[in-house]
Structure 1
Amino acid sequence: MYRRKRLELSGRDPFMKTQLIVFTRYPEPGNTKTRLIPSLGPEGAAILQQRLTSHTLDIVRTFQRQVPCTIEVRFAGRDATAMQAMFGDGMGYVPQQGTDLGERLCHAIDEAFQADSDRVIVIGADCPQLDATTLQMANRLLERHDVVVGPAEDGGYYLIGLKSPQPSLFREIPWGTSRVLTETMKKIDVQGLSRKLLSPLSDVDYPEDLISCRRWPQLLEGILPAYDANRLSIVIPTLNEVKNLAETLHAVNSRCTSEKDLEVIVADGGSKDDTVQIALQHQAKVVQCKPGRGIQLNAGAALASGGHLLFLHADALLPFRYDEVIRNTLHGKTIAGAFRLKIDHDTPGLRLVAQLANLRSRFLQRPYGDQGLFLRSQTLYEVGGFRNWPLMEDIELGQRLRKRGRIAMADVSMTVSARRWRKRGVVRTTCMNQAILLAWRMGISPERLALWYRGKPVSSS
């Protein structure tokens, strides 16, 4: 009786047959991880696919040692012999069947239950955060629930577990969109099935998702530029910044103490003007990604090779010797830092705004993104980067950083454009900022707040 209880608590029920199915693709350059090809190149994207699959299968083998189960790899591209040669023995390799992802999932799950499985768990091979403990939890939760789902940060899911075939869950789903999880949950509820959600995790489909891979350096070794602890990587999100970017980049390059230890990455969200051309003229690296400040900051930081990171708005001018200031500020228990704020339009109202921002930053350790947040790159990777939000991503990251250490303020100022205060007025802009902050703390989503604030879904500025 005691042994039976222990097995149940660990998810190991000897009377239940579990089948774990891994969906993946043979890593052929040009045909895999195609959304990452602009950032990594065809070969780099294929190598990452291979490493992600190997990483996932290592986790699956660990799970199999803890919970008796059968493992099957459902693959696309090449054949079973090539898959086995690349990823090893101990599991079956079966080609995916179906015209879309829904049909392929349905077919694999139906065949598993026809083989007398009592539980079927399906995962992808592009979620490096997934571990054996999460798989154990999913298996255990299926004792009490009809469906277990692992939600992905992008609105899809990285895992689904079932106790019986449920083909309706995979029909008429907008695969490849942020609505996959929501529509699946609706279908589960319509069928009257009991469900349980696991913790959200990030999968790797777009440039911004690569930030989650940086916690496992072996996944990107040889794909990205070699890490240099002395290098400072500056990430600048842009969207139609032709009026400001050249001056910002000129200050970046001319006001540092050592250009050879500098890396500038412009994360562009689809500019329609000459923003990208200006960035290239100033020898900046350019990563193209979806618009949205959190998305763009992550996309740039994921490709950085420096030991320190600085996140800079496209309308900001750094102080002289700023790289030296950053390294001197990040010492001891200081986890991150920011510059004092100075606004380029000198009026009593804007001077007061800057003074209050500097007081908030110094005494509450709450600098905002327009003050040039800087930190060690390893720190950002350990906390998982920014949230992929269009707004409030800097505030939320600050909350996580303060749990790890002190956020310091440098003794020198960086200058930012007064354009947003001049557009709406100082009082109105300040009141709106505070209202947005309050609404976020009350639980209103950053996406909705961005609509209120800008009148459009996303922007980088």
Structure 2
Amino acid sequence: MKRAIIVFTRIPKAGQTKTRMMPYLSGKQCKELHQCFLKDILNECRKVKADIFICYTGGTITKPRYFKQVGESLGERMVNAMKKVLDKGYNSCILIGTDIPELRASDLNKAFDKLTYSDLVFGPSVDGGYYLVGMNTLHKEVFNYMNLKEISQPITTIRTLHDMDTKYDLRGYRRRMREHPWMKKTHTGRYLTRNTKISIIVPIYNEEKTIEALQQQLIWLPCEIIFVDGGSTDKTLEKIWPEFHVISGVKGRAAQMNVGAIASSGDVLFFLHCDSELPPHALEQIREVMRDYEAGCFGIAFHSKNFFMWTCRVISNHRAKYRRLPFGDQGIFIDSDLFFMAGMFPEIPIMEDYQFSLKLKEWGVKFGMTRKRIYTSDRRFPKGTIPKLKVMWQMNRLRKDYREGVDIDKISAKYKDIR
């Protein structure tokens, strides 16, 4: 029994393919992503006992089983492609698009199986259209419709899949990738991991002593960076380089971070304190974690050699990794959709990071942790062992008070604001 698969595609060219994803992706990235789709789909097609034809537009290719699309409308071009292949004597033929990288060989085999007792099979897409049509004899009429609900004659279907047309579709792919490990190994999965867009959001208030050092770290990072000022009265704003985007907001770390998040465009939001020191390849480490998790953080470290600062580091990292309660100075990063779904940071004067982590924990969100640590300033801790212990005890006591429902303003009043 002769079977054929037609891969219906455009030749990937920058600025001419997957254009609905622009400007979220550049023209070059759209081309590269389309190439990844093609590689993954062809890999699955080759696992099926069927001849593969490539029906293309956008150039000229002189290879066996490659032929150009002919016709004015999309439906007419698909009719002509199907007729051309069926006329070669094939008993059954399947036509597929190239924006369905989750297609598996099992889907194609299922479609061919259904064609043994039905003359028409479709692969529905989530948006109401279809990514696959298969037939034993030509049915011109079905190509007049791009929505399955408009087709009146009896049809059989295989499983529903997602089209990849917009940036929101890509975000959905990343979410499903966390649930299905095989997707991480595909060309598409690896490409989307490497190109996950990260927005760094830095709340600032009177940070003239730290802003220069942070900018020297961030200037080399190829991502969106947003400083959100809370009304600084020192020289912080004067010292911010013109390369960076600055937003003015009301004072309050939670409110500032929320304002930055609303203005951001990244798939992942990375909330960074101004006195932090990032490890090498920080963005790559975030992407590595976000491939498997919806949220994450860095392990924390201090430059101090003091034994109790080392103890603080160990306790903080254990709390974040095993109790799933990271704090803001560990550099929390999170899927942007999840962040807004969670209602953003609660705009309270203190403990906003703690409350946010508690909420995510209640939802069952697991935090991943990077392999390298972020260094944070120990400026909140005074010199000397005993004074350090007193501050650590006080911080622990404040968290206990918060859990027990003590008024947040009373807790805030006890919290010394060192800048």
Q: 2 CA distance for matches of 1:422 and 1:282?
A: 35
Q: Are 2:269 and 1:303 equivalent residues in the alignment?
A: no
- Give the counterpart of 2:227 among 266, 276, 298: 266
Question: What are the Cα deviations for residues 373-424 of structure 1, in whole angstroms up to 9, with x where unaligned?
Answer: 0011111111110001121100111122221421111111001011001369
* Distance across 1 between alignment mates of 2:229 and 2:270: 16
Q: Give distance in 2, aligned partners of 1:247 and 1:264.
A: 15
State the one-letter code of the partner of 2:412: A
Matching residue of 2:283: 323
- CA distance, structure 1, for counterparts of residue 409 and residue 226 of structure 2: 25
Count of residues in Structure 1 that have an aligned counterpart in Structure 2:
222
Does the alignment pair 1:241 with 2:184? no
Once residues 460 and 283 of structure 1 are traced to their aligned partners in structure 2, the CA distance between those partners, rounded to angstroms, is 28
Higher Cα Rg: structure 1 or 2? Answer: 2
Once the 2 structures are TM-superposed, how far is the Cα of residue 282 of structure 1 from its aligned partner? 5.5
- The 8 Å contact of residues 245 and 278 in structure 1, kept in 2 or not, is answered as yes
CA distance in 1, matches of 2:237, 2:412: 24
CA contact (8 A) 1:292 1:460 kept: no
Within 5 Å, which residues of 2 pair with 1:1-400?
230-254=196-220, 256=221, 259=222, 262-279=223-240, 281=241, 283-332=243-292, 334-400=293-359
Q: Which residue of 1 aligns with 2:389?
A: 427
Q: TM-score, normalised by structure 1?
A: 0.46
Q: 1:445 to 1:295 in 2, by over 3 A?
A: farther
Distance 1:408 1:230, change over 3 A: closer
Counterparts in 2 of 1:300 and 1:390: CA distance versus 1, 3 Å: same
What amino acid is aligned across from residue 265 of structure 1 in structure 2?
I
Identity of matched residues, %? 27
User: Equivalents in 2 of 1:273, 1:250: separation in Å?
Assistant: 20
Whole-Å Cα distance in 2 between the matches of residues 407 and 349 of structure 1?
25
Aligned to 2:166: none
Q: Tell me the CA shift for residue 444 of structure 1.
A: 1.6
Distance 1:236 1:342 in 2: 19
Output the CA distance in 2 between the equivalents of 1:236 and 1:414.
Answer: 15
Q: Deviations over 1:12-42 (max 9, x none)?
A: xxxxxxxxxxxxxxxxxxxxxxxxxxxxxxx
Change (3 A) 1:460 1:307: farther
User: How much does 1:351 deviate?
Assistant: 1.1
Deviation for aligned residue 1:323: 0.6
For each residue in 1:284-327, what CA deviation from the matched residue of structure 2 results, as whole angstroms up to 9, or x when unmatched? 21111111111111111111111111001110011111111111
Aligned to 1:440: 402
For 2:297 and 2:242, locate their aligned partners in 1 and report how far apart those are by CA, in whole Å: 24
Scaled by the length of structure 2, what TM-score is found? 0.51
Alignment check: 8 A CA contact 1:237 1:293 kept: yes
C-alpha separation in 1, matches of 2:371 and 2:242 = 28
The verdict on how the C-alpha distance between 1:460 and 1:327 changes in structure 2, with shifts beyond 3 A counting, is farther
Q: Distance in 2 between matches of 1:446 and 1:282?
A: 37
In the alignment, the residues of structure 2 paired with residue 314 and residue 413 of structure 1 have an alpha-carbon distance, to the nearest angstrom, of 16
Residue 448 of structure 1 deviates from its aligned partner by 2.2
Q: How many Å separate the matches in 2 of 1:432 and 1:335?
A: 32
Alignment-derived partner of residue 131 in structure 1: none
CA contact (8 A) 1:345 1:417 kept: no
- What is the one-letter code of the residue matched to 1:264? I
Gaps of 5+ in 2: 1-194
Closer, same or farther in 2 for the Cα pair 1:353/1:283, shift >3 Å? same
Given that residues 232 and 309 in structure 1 are in contact (C-alpha distance below 8 angstroms), is that contact kept between their aligned partners in structure 2?
Answer: yes
Per-residue CA deviation, residues 145-181 of structure 1 (Å, 9 max, x unaligned), is xxxxxxxxxxxxxxxxxxxxxxxxxxxxxxxxxxxxx
Q: Mark the CA change 1:419 to 1:282 in structure 2 (over 3 Å): closer, same or farther.
A: farther
CA distance in 2, matches of 1:450, 1:344: 27
2-structure distance, mates of 1:248, 1:284: 12
Conserved? CA contact 2:380–2:418, under 8 Å = no
Provide the C-alpha distance between the structure 1 equivalents of 2:242 and 2:276, rounded to a whole number of angstroms: 16
**Aligned-partner residue type, residue 199 of structure 2:** S
**Counterparts of 1:316 and 1:381 in 2: how far apart (Å)?**
25
Return the match for 1:449 from 411, 414, 417.
411
2:379–2:418 CA contact under 8 A, matched in 1: no
1:71 is aligned to: none
Structure 1 stretches of 5 or more lacking a match? 1-228
Quote the offset at 1:344 in angstroms: 2.3
RMSD value, Cα: 1.8
Find the aligned partners of 1:460 and 1:236 in 2 and give their Cα distance.
17
SS at 1:420 equivalent: coil
For residue 206 of structure 2, what is the amino acid of its counterpart?
N
Amino acid paired to 1:284: F
